[in-house]
Amino acid sequence: MRVILIGPPGAGKGTQASRLSAKYGVPSISTGDLFRARTKDPNDPLGAEINRIMKEGKLVPNEITVKMIAERLDQPDCKNGFILDGFPRSVEQAESLDKMLKEKGIRLDGVVQIGVDDEKLVERISGRFACGKCGEGYHDKFHQPKDPHKCDKCGATEDPANPETTLWKRRPDDNATTVRARLETYHSQTAPILPFYDAKGVLKVVDGMASMDDVTRQIEAALDPKEGVKKPAPPKKYG
């Protein structure tokens, strides 16, 4: 299964990518996660540059992004497919990916747009947190862990002997100012890739305002080859 998830920050791409990855047995690849991993080393100048750009809510330059994704897609675990979360994010990136896939003789099974209204995204993002060990995503209101001191997915627990290291992580770019900049970037640079994929006949639109389980069902139905003959619902008012 080879799928691209497109949506504004907080739409639910990471949440759904993790579920699809488990269902189809293919890796979910998030350029945001790859960049965050790169910013960990304080002595790495490229990491520092990426960190600065992410804090501003802008796009990391294509030369860096495309090279990184090309290396990732060459890894053996992508042989049977992948779920791309957050790439491509501009028409130029979509064109680069197209070229890469053509060279490998690979076809996409679907490009899924997760539509969510802007007002809802701020609420989604301000309540977002994740497990520091496995990255599983949670929300203060919409998706709390069963035990507030333990990750549902990997079982990691808070270490009472070491209260400095908290189990849960919040992203530094999930603040009101950066979110506005990221939304602006989405509308000006990412949304224009939707007509690119619609013209290829692979774009499916799902209503990301629905519950997480309902969004999963919509995506699975959209990716079902039996449903392929149906024209997807036109985008609502999102983006």
Count how many Cα atoms sit within 13 Å of the Cα of residue 181 in the half-sphere of its side chain: 13
What, of ligand ADP, Zn ion, none, does residue 212 touch, CB below 5 to 8 Å by kind?
Answer: ligand ADP
How far CA 174 is from CA of 104, 186, 220, in Å, comes to: 36, 15, 29
Q: Which is nearer to Zn ion, 134 or 221 (CB)?
A: 134
Among 2, 24, 57, 82, binds ligand ADP (CB under 6 A): 57
Q: Is 211 in the site for ligand ADP (CB under 6 A)?
A: yes
Residue 88 preceded by cis peptide, ω within 30: yes
Near ligand ADP by CB under 6 A, which window of 101-109, 135-143, 147-155, 191-199? 135-143
Task: Calculate helix-pair angle for 13-24, 212-223, nearest 10 degrees.
Answer: 50
With CB under 6 A as the contact rule, the residue among 143, 150, 153, 169 that binds ligand ADP is 143
- The catalytic position among 2, 13, 36, 124 is 13
Is position 72 an interface residue for ligand ADP (rule: CB under 6 A)?
A: no
Whether the Cβ atoms of residue 150 and residue 157 lie closer than 8 Å to each other:
yes
115 binds ligand ADP (CB under 6 A): no
Alpha-carbon distance of 76 to 68, in angstroms, equals 15
User: Which of these segments, 40-48, 75-83, 97-105, 208-216, binds ligand ADP (CB under 6 A)?
Assistant: 208-216
138 binds, among ligand ADP, Zn ion, none (CB under 5 to 8 A by kind): ligand ADP
- DSSP three-state, residue 118: helix
CA distance 206 to 225: 16
CB of 161 vs ligand ADP, minimal distance in Å: 28
Q: Is 52 a catalytic residue?
A: no
Beta strand spans in the chain (E): 2-6, 28-30, 82-85, 110-115, 128-131, 137-139, 168-169, 203-207
Q: Which does 239 bind (CB under 5 to 8 A by kind): ligand ADP, Zn ion, none?
A: none
- If the CB atoms of residues 3 and 17 are measured against Zn ion, the closer one turns out to be 17
Q: Does 182 bind ligand ADP (CB under 6 A)?
A: yes
Which among 36, 89, 124, 204 is annotated as catalytic? Answer: 89
Are 209 and 199 spatial neighbours (Cβ–Cβ below 8 Å)? no
What's the start-to-end Cα distance of the chain, in Å? 27
Which residues, numbered 100-139, are part of the site for Zn ion (CB under 5 A)? 131, 133-134, 136
Copy the structure tokens of residue 60: 């990391």
d(CA 112, CA 85): 10
Instruction: Enumerate binding residues for Zn ion (CB under 5 A).
Output: 131, 133-134, 136, 151, 153-154, 156
Instruction: Using CB under 6 A, list all residues that contact ligand ADP.
Output: 7, 9-15, 30-32, 35, 53-54, 57-60, 65, 86-87, 89, 93, 124, 127-128, 137-139, 142-143, 182, 211-212, 215
**Residues with active-site annotation:** 13, 89, 128, 171, 182
